[in-house]
Structure 1
Amino acid sequence: METCGYPSGYYLVDGIYPELAPLVKTIPEPADDDHKRILYKQKQESARKDVERAFGVLKKKWAILANPARALRKDRIVSMMYTCIILHNMIRKYKNYAISPRWFPEEAHQPDDPLRNEEQVQRVMRWIKSSQAHQNLRHDLIEHLAQNA
């Protein structure tokens, strides 16, 4: 399902990642008088650090989150994330009552979500590799933040 003209969500990343459409990087050195880009840089870096810390905590506890999830449907990924967050919060709240304080991986986890067909994979990969899509998304985010500041 497309939202705002983009076929998928995006990830806030730092400068070490390649320029791919869903990986939205900060702006390394915005001009001193470019207030829109300075605001974007501040917001992007702040949000990215918060997400990295939170996700790092969850990945340590739930190994399923440390593995690629491209083969899963969006609703399944969302459910998986919410489940891990809820379980994490329950364990923190009832730490002394936890049944098992350690995580034991499933031996043969097989996702039950259907894989995309080849045409869908190729379309998504073209979009992901599009430098123009990357620039458009970042520009749209900069404008959105400036309008809602």
Structure 2
Amino acid sequence: MATMASSNILLVVFAVVAVLSVLASGAQPPQPRRIEADVVVMGFVPCNNGTSMRTGSAPGFPNALVQLHCADGAVAANATTDGKGWFRMALNTTATLSSVASGCDLAVATPLASCNAALPATGTLRSGLRLLVSMVFFPRGFSYVSSSSSLD
């Protein structure tokens, strides 16, 4: 009986020593993966060619290429929507948040016919940006732009 009690005491001592050594080393517990970026743009792309489309007005546009265009016309970042039409992109920039909001917009490069054959095969969906919180931007609402008036 004494050996069992001494074994239990030894086990407790080893556990305490292990915990104290981890605490003394300053080791941090594993953290979730963080986005290392100055700006995050996320949102929903509807499979529709209406104007100022909202999330609930149409099904999502799966596997669509969403591009972030800024004042210089270059593609600053891009992302592909998931199976439900949601996307997220992150980028580092020296631009201020207000210049991103006023000088950048989103364009969906994938033809609408890819999500619904009854929709046009040319033209793009475009949206301005609005600052949601801190550094996170969200589309203002996608609108269809025909290929004759598209800026691409």
> What is the TM-score when the length of structure 2 is the normalising length?
0.20
Greater helix proportion: 1
- Higher RCO structure (Cα 8 Å, ≥6 apart): 1
* Bigger Rg, structure 1 or 2: 2
TM-score (norm 1): 0.20
1 or 2, which has the higher strand percentage? 2
